[in-house]
Chains A and B, each alone.
Chain A
Amino acid sequence: DTGVSQDPRHKITKRGQNVTFRCDPISEHNRLYWYRQTLGQGPEFLTYFQNEAQLEKSRLLSDRFSAERPKGSFSTLEIQRTEQGDSAMYLCASSAQPGQGDTGELFFGEGSRLTVL
């Protein structure tokens, strides 16, 4: 078990460009979450998946943000037409389902830091 991995760890882009982040959850974890964290703040919920189904998406999430988990394994988070306000750490986390090792907690990756110039 290698834990939750995220790629890239750091991304610098110019305003208006598109960026994509990838998350590989712990194998056999069926739930996958995306959070955004800005300096001095706690993680802010963006969306989560159960297998390939996106079950909830934050109402605060702009239409420029889209997430997918096509095969129920890895997930991608794409931000289109980036703005300076998108600069943040994007955290991915995963958890197991009840009856299959669900201990209740989220397991986090180390995050992908986005800087929009």
Chain B
Amino acid sequence: AQSVTQLGSHVSVSEGALVLLRCNYSSSVPPYLFWYVQYPNQGLQLLLKYTSAATLVKGINGFEAEFKKSETSFHLTKPSAHMSDAAEYFCAVRPSGTYKYIFGTGTRLKVLA
């Protein structure tokens, strides 16, 4: 079965530091991959997506992610964390040939002043 693994349920970084949130997927065929952000008591908002075009994907709010097929990874990065980045982040996969989206368990990002 297809799955998504997010390493680290909680990540803390200082304001201005690099943000790195990890995501690995299991799939024999490159799927569609997504990162979503969720603020308290809100729905999920798309940050960025990989749909078999460029392997380095840029999203909103300065986030980007790189699809690495050899590592089956799609890690999310941001060069400099801002206080407003504090939220929960979910990696998701839509396996090729399906319309079902599978989400990871999430990583809560805390930004320290």
Taking Cβ atoms with an 8 Å cutoff, the residues of A that contact B are 4, 31, 33, 35, 40-45, 48, 50, 55-56, 91, 93, 95, 103-111, 113
Contact of B100 with A45 in the complex, beta carbons under 8 Å: yes
Residue of A nearest to B52 (CB): A104
User: Interface residues of B, CB < 8 Å — how many?
Assistant: 23
Tell me the bound Cα distance from A95 to B42 in angstroms.
18
Contact of B105 with A91 in the complex, beta carbons under 8 Å: no
Cβ of B32: which chain A residues have Cβ within 8 Å of it? 104
Contact of A111 with B43 in the complex, beta carbons under 8 Å: yes
Residue of A nearest to B48 (CB): A105
Residue of B nearest to A4 (CB): B43
Residue of A nearest to B9 (CB): A40
Q: Known A105-B49, A108-B45; judge A41-B99 contact (CB<8 A).
A: no
B61 to chain A, nearest CB (A): 16
Best-surrounded residue of A4, A41, A103, A105 (most CB of chain B within 10 A):
A105
